Amino acid sequence: MPDTVLSLSELIGESQVDDALFAQAYAESADQERALMKTCIARLYNWYGPSKDTACEVARRWRGGFGSVSRSAPVDVALVLFDDTCVSPARLLAALVPAIACGVPNVLAVRVDGKGDWAPPLLTAMELAGQELVADLTGKGVSVLLDKVADAGAKGAVVDLTGRPGLCAGRNDLAVYCPDFDRSASIFLDEPDTFDLDALSFIHPDMEFTVFGAEVPLPDGFVSGSEDFQAFLTSVRNVAFVPADRIGDALGHARLVLGPGQEGCWVWPELLPGFFLFHRTAWTIGD
| Ramachandran sector of residue 25 (left: φ over 0; alpha: ψ -120 to 50; beta: rest) | alpha
pLDDT in the model for residue 1? 42
How far are the Cα atoms of 97, 140, 181, 205, 248 from residue 240, in angstroms, in the given order? 22, 37, 13, 16, 11
Q: Contact, 144 vs 151, CB < 8 A?
A: no
The pLDDT value recorded for residue 5 is 61
Looking at residue 3, its pLDDT comes to 53
- Read off the pLDDT of residues 224-283 as tens digits, 9 standing for 90 and up: 999 999 999 999 999 999 999 999 999 999 999 999 999 999 999 999 999 999 999 999
DSSP 42-96: HHHHHHH-----S-EEEEEE-TTSEEEEEEEEE-SEEEEEE-TT---HHHHHHHH
Asked if residue 34 lies in contact with residue 124, where contact means CB atoms within 8 angstroms, the answer is yes
pLDDT recorded at residue 173: 75
What is the average per-residue pLDDT within 45-67? 90
Between vectors from CA 31 to CA 44 and to CA 38, what angle results, nearest 5°? 10
**119 confidence band (pLDDT: 50, 70, 90):** very high
Tell me which of 52-56, 58-62, 221-225 is least confident: 52-56
The percentage of residues in the chain with a pLDDT greater than 90, rounded to a whole number, is: 85
